[in-house]
Amino acid sequence: MKEVKIVRPEAIILAGGFGTRLQSVVSDVPKPMAPVAGRPFLCYLLESLLRQGYTRAVLATGYLHEKVEACFGSDYRGLALAYARETSPLGTGGAIVNALQHCQADSVTVLNGDTLLLADLAELRQLALQKATPLAVVLRAVDDAGRYGAVDTDADGRITSFHEKDPAHGPGLINGGIYQLHRSLLADRAVGEPFSFEREVLQGRFREEAFYGYRTDGYFIDIGVPDDYRRAQTELPLL
């Protein structure tokens, strides 16, 4: 009998952000390490992965990577951690390609290291399988989509357009910063090649590829903005 290889869900966390908008509040650590109620923000992301059955995560680090590694080491409460360091800025796309070299699975969950969105990641993975898509994107309805840039889908959930940030946009769906990505989508990209995943892959290829959105109303916060970072201090400990 042929042995069946069981691949457990695996995640990449983009944890190399400079935190430019947070410089007035936090300046000595990477943005995902910004303290929230006495703990690095990254702890809340790792806890979320643990609760959803993930056993391994690759942290894509860059700026002050040594502080991330010194804090977390190779294990976080049973969640195995590996590190994909960038020696020069690679952008979000280059960081993902670099991190994929350390992944064991062909399809991985990718999370931004400065946002927390509580979505059902098992449903996200299932959607990606059902639609046979190389990329499923978690979408979140917000009152002010113009702050982030809005996303439209058709009745089947396929992404049909992206809108630039526009204060006049009003309510809508936004990219929640979580993806289920098949490594084949980035097979044409060389390791070490800097590029923007959002601009060159998401916005650049959604017309030729069938990318799908997974909608959630889960708790969402972006600590990259000082006002939301301050709000996180009281909200996250209650999750």
- Is the residue at 120 inside a domain? yes
CB atoms inside a 10 Å sphere around CB 228:
16
Residue 89 or 2, more confident: 89
Largest Cα–Cα distance of the chain, in whole Å?
Answer: 61
What local confidence, expressed as pLDDT, does residue 147 receive? 81
Which pTM does this prediction carry?
A: 0.93
For residues 95 and 62, the answer to whether their CB atoms sit within 8 Å is yes
Q: What tens digit of pLDDT does each residue of 213-222 get?
A: 999 999 999 9
What are the C-alpha distances in Å from 216 to residues 118, 131, 143, 152? Answer: 8, 18, 14, 14
- Is the residue at 1 inside a domain? no
- Is the residue at 5 inside a domain? no
- Is the residue at 4 inside a domain? no
What local confidence, expressed as pLDDT, does residue 24 receive? 58
Residue 93 sits in which domain range?
A: 10-238
For residues 34 and 230, the answer to whether their CB atoms sit within 8 Å is no
CATH number, residue 118: 3.90.550.10
- Is the residue at 3 inside a domain? no
DSSP secondary structure letter of residue 204: H
The confidence band for 8, taking pLDDT boundaries of 50, 70 and 90, is: confident
- Is the residue at 2 inside a domain? no
Question: How large is the average pLDDT for residues 53-65?
Answer: 93
Ranges assigned E (strand) in 46-158: 56-61, 75-76, 79-85, 107-112, 115-117, 135-142, 150-153
DSSP secondary structure letter of residue 106: S
| Torsion angles phi and psi, residue 106, rounded to 5 | -80, -30
- Whether the pLDDT of residue 91 is over 50: the answer is yes
- Whether the pLDDT of residue 2 is over 50: the answer is no
CA dihedral 93, 195, 90, 44 (to 10 degrees): -30
CA angle 58, 63, 67 (to 5 degrees): 70
Number of folded domains in the chain? 1
The confidence band for 164, taking pLDDT boundaries of 50, 70 and 90, is: confident
- Is the residue at 41 inside a domain? yes
- Is the residue at 38 inside a domain? yes
Q: What tens digit of pLDDT does each residue of 198-214 get?
A: 999 999 999 999 999 99
